[in-house]
Amino acid sequence: MHESRVDEFKFLTKYKNKLDIGDANVSVLRDPVNGYKELVISYKTIYINTYNVHVMDITQEGQPTLYKHESFQLWESESKGMLLTNRNDFLKVSKSGADVIALGSEPKRMITDDQGNDHVLHSLESVNYLKIDPENFVTFECADENRIISVF
């Protein structure tokens, strides 16, 4: 039997904070026409009460993280995240409602709610111009009405 060694594997990311996570979801977003494959990981974190969505490119070498989206989520409250493949949107559902995160490359699109109000939905990729270097990644932080975009 062959024994595997840690140095034989390629890690996309390592979490060193040792905080418990819950309500996790892992999906693969594929587009054979444009030749990309992305890993979408989502979870909530204890103590800091956040729901995190990480989008990682698994076809290229270097920095795999493309985007990180962070929003408020009580640890005690159940949440569910899922990838909607028809528009490459990510849907998070919890007791406080539903959040839609556009993961596709369409810069913006109009959506209409059940009361006929129009809204603009911007994709995470639409702010790629903020990156100084391709190795940087963009973090989105949302808590109620406060929205912060950070480039690391």
Residue 142 within a domain: no
Residue 140 within a domain: no
Residue 73 within a domain: yes
- Domain, as residue range, for 84: 6-133
Residue 146 within a domain: no
DSSP for 61-86, written as a single string? SS--EEEEEEEE--TTS-EEEEEETT
CA distance to 103, 123, 124, per residue, from 81 (Å): 13, 17, 17
Q: Is 88 helix (H, G, I), strand (E, B) or coil?
A: coil
Residue 86 within a domain: yes
How do residues 63-117 score in pLDDT, each as one tens digit? 788 888 888 999 999 999 999 877 789 999 999 888 888 987 788 899 898 999 9
Query: Hunting for tokens 């990838």 — which residue is that?
Result: 83
Phi then psi dihedrals of residue 36, to 5 deg? -120, 155
Split into its structural domains, the chain has a count of: 1
Residue 11 within a domain: yes
Query: So what's the pLDDT on residue 31?
Result: 76
29: which 2 tokens? 């977003």
Residue 102 within a domain: yes
pTM recorded for the entire structure: 0.80
Residue 52 within a domain: yes
